[in-house]
Structure 1
Amino acid sequence: MNTSGAAPWRGYWPAAPTPFTAGGSLDEDAWRALLALYAEHGVHGVLVNGTTGEWFSQTPEERRRVAEIAVAELSGQIPVVIGCGAYTAAESARYGEHARAIGADGILTTPPPYVHPSQDEIHAFYATLAGAVDLPLMVYNWPRGTAVDITVDTLVRLAELDTVVAVKDSSGDELKVADTCAALAGKVQVFGRFIHRRGMAVMAEFGGAGNIDGGGLGAPFAVPFYEAYWAGDLDRAREWSARYERLVNLLVNDDYSSRFASPTSQLKAAMRLLGQPGGHVRPPLLPLEDPSALLGLSEALDEAGLHSCSTSTGKR
């Protein structure tokens, strides 16, 4: 039986982009500035080197450096969880052991991408990783990126592993997320799409820990949403959720694709429009440069009210 399910992971977390310079090198100054911005916004945790962090285009040395800076900048303030995505459990474990050595709060990974593992193979992958790294582990279900969907039954099995404390469900299937919350209640924390009225109902009935959101553009709305919800101020929470939903609907499609470019390219373009230190993408991604798309993105940010919030702490 999992004895680690009480990990205090909840609320609104950005899945942080990794800032690169226009020439493609890691921009450590921008990375520190972005982490400081997240702290200013009052986010409740940060995920590093996930999908939005472009782990796939970093060298192993860069991945470790990004993780080291994040832990050094935020340790003791909010949880820092390190993405350890890889094709084998052994490789994930090497990143996980580094995360443990530098003092990270936990690790996260999807099932191996490209591989299309079976449910038993998914369980074996996580069981191997859990046995190799003595850190809290978040299971990341990301069918759009891995082409496999972790079933609720498999998530229940994974929740029995000693170090598994959370699930990040990015399937986009709200009914399945509700089933997952019900099945894992009292065992592990579930992160999904909860910042809307249906999500509030799911959290009230079945539980649900929070959202992990690519880039954190929604922090000015999502941070106060969770704090109002936890305080029992449901009317205020509904107001903030409506503003967050508007932003999401303007930028993101139902399948988690983005409206103006690939997700991370759109995110970094939006951050530049807001004066935030997101940096540039790195190949194989391409920057969003089309003038009409950039205009549409700028108008969407304006319509969502983000230009007026870009320097806010999110707690107004």
Structure 2
Amino acid sequence: MDRDDVSWRGYWPAAPTPFTAAGALDEQAWRALLQLYAAQRVHGVLVNGSTGEWFSQTPAERRRVTEIAVAELSGRAPVVIGVTAYTAAEAIDLARHAAETGADGVLATPPPYVHPGPDEILAFYRAVSSATDLPFMVYNWPRGVSVDISAHPGLMRRLADLDRVVAIKDSTGDWLRMLATVEAVSEQVRVFGSFLHRRGLAVLMELGGDGNIDGGGLGAPFAVPYYEAVAAGNAKAARGWADRYAGLSARLINPDYSGVHGTPIAQLKAAMAILGQPGGQVRPPLLPIADPAAIDAIGAVLRESGLAETLAQGGVAAR
């Protein structure tokens, strides 16, 4: 398989998993969130990724979250399931369930905590990606697993050569390394990275790259039309949408993907609560943001970026 075997592109939320205040999986809120994404016409959805708090779910819960997502979004947007786990065997079990459920693809980081070397990373991805017939997305997430795939010369290309790998999500905090990934493999596999700004637009227009997978999808009203403008070759319109998105994201997320006003997932869910979106609560070990000053600061970003007003006016971008 290669990049031409899938149509994955554009703006995808990495969906948060809603929990109740008591810590239970909130299936009603999860369905409502998926319907919101469909209404916003996002180009795909990542389920049970880092933002989905896979690390605090049981295997049964991860399967249930997958089943609901596929049922709600089937035929409306690609659904890729995160199967990150500490061992290949665990990831394979989740990948096989995703395939049985009807997902469009699977994704995994290298095993967290383990600090594997290049050959071990390659062996892990060879085992997990070959366990099903689903297209596979490699996820480089140094902040979460303490290993930066892009720091190992030639490793991205070795991973892109695996039979089922069709895409790479490169979330290194080093933007130049992400550009090196684009240069190395974007003609072979899809590359999702940091492109939602004017520098990213220049890369998309001239060098390559396919989309952003964004924690939570708050910026969808700005990011969806950005990628539609990119697809149409309309750089002027894309610059305008990029500036609006940057006015939101740069005040909430630092360049290393940490949150400005709290833990990123807790901050996201606080913002969603302010906007009346069905994000639910975080689950321990994460804690909700309770500091009134932090909540006020998040609310100010949502207002001053124009996002709150856009949503209040029914801000669903047209394709």
Q: TM-score, normalised by structure 2?
A: 0.97
Aligned length: 315
Please say if residues 3 and 167 of structure 2, whose CA atoms lie closer than 8 Å, have aligned partners that are also in contact. no
- Alignment deviations for residues 164-200 of structure 1 (CA, whole Å, 9 cap, x no partner): 0000011122211111111113210000011111111
Match of 2:109 in 1: 110
> Are 1:234 and 2:235 counterparts?
yes
Q: Quick check: 1:5–1:166 contact (8 Å CA) kept in 2?
A: no
User: What does residue 132 of structure 1 align with?
Assistant: 131
1:309 Cα shift?
A: 2.1
Is the Cα contact below 8 Å between 1:6 and 1:188 reproduced in 2?
Answer: no
User: Which whole-Å CA distance do the structure 2 matches of 1:20 and 1:72 have between them?
Assistant: 19
Q: Within 1, Cα distance between the matches of 2:72 and 2:189?
A: 27
Asked if the contact 1:84/1:107 (under 8 Å) is kept, the reply is: yes
Distance 2:2 2:211 in 1: 21
- Following superposition, the deviation at residue 201 of structure 1 comes to 1.4
- 8 Å contact kept, 2:3–2:187: no
Spell out the pairing of 1:122-161 with structure 2 (5 A cutoff).
Answer: 122-151=121-150, 153-161=154-162
After the TM superposition, which residues 127-206 of structure 1 pair with which residues of structure 2 at under 5 Å, given as runs?
Answer: 127-151=126-150, 153-206=154-207
Cα offsets for 1:34-66 (capped at 9, x unmatched): 000000011000000000000000011100000
Look up the match of 1:254: 255
- Secondary structure of the 2:81 match is strand
Please tell me the residue identity of whatever aligns with 1:64. Answer: R
Contact 1:80 1:105 in 2 (8 A): yes
Deviations along 1:228-267, whole A, 9 cap, x unmatched?
A: 1111111111000000011111101110000111000000
What is the root-mean-square deviation of aligned Cα atoms in Å? 1.1
Determine whether 1:39 maps to 2:42. no
Query: Match for residue 100 of structure 1?
Result: 99
**Is the Cα contact below 8 Å between 1:42 and 1:223 reproduced in 2?**
yes
Identity, in percent, stands at 62
SS at match of 2:309: coil
What is the aligned counterpart of 1:313 among 294, 311, 316? 316
Structure 1's consecutive aligned runs of 4 or more residues displaced over 3 angstroms after TM superposition are 2-6
Once the two structures are TM-superposed, the CA of residue 4 in structure 1 deviates from its matched residue by 5.5
8 Å CA contact retained: 2:2, 2:165: no
Structure 2 match to 1:208: 209
**Mapping of residues 269-284 of structure 1, within 5 Å:** 269-284=270-285
Q: Which residue of 2 aligns with 1:27?
A: 26
- State the match for 1:265 in structure 2: 266
Q: Secondary structure at the match of 2:167?
A: strand
What residue ranges of structure 1 are gaps of 5+ in the alignment? none
Any gaps of 5 or more consecutive residues in structure 2?
none
CA shift for structure 1 position 303: 1.1
Give the whole-Å Cα distance in 1 for the aligned partners of 2:308 and 2:181. Answer: 36
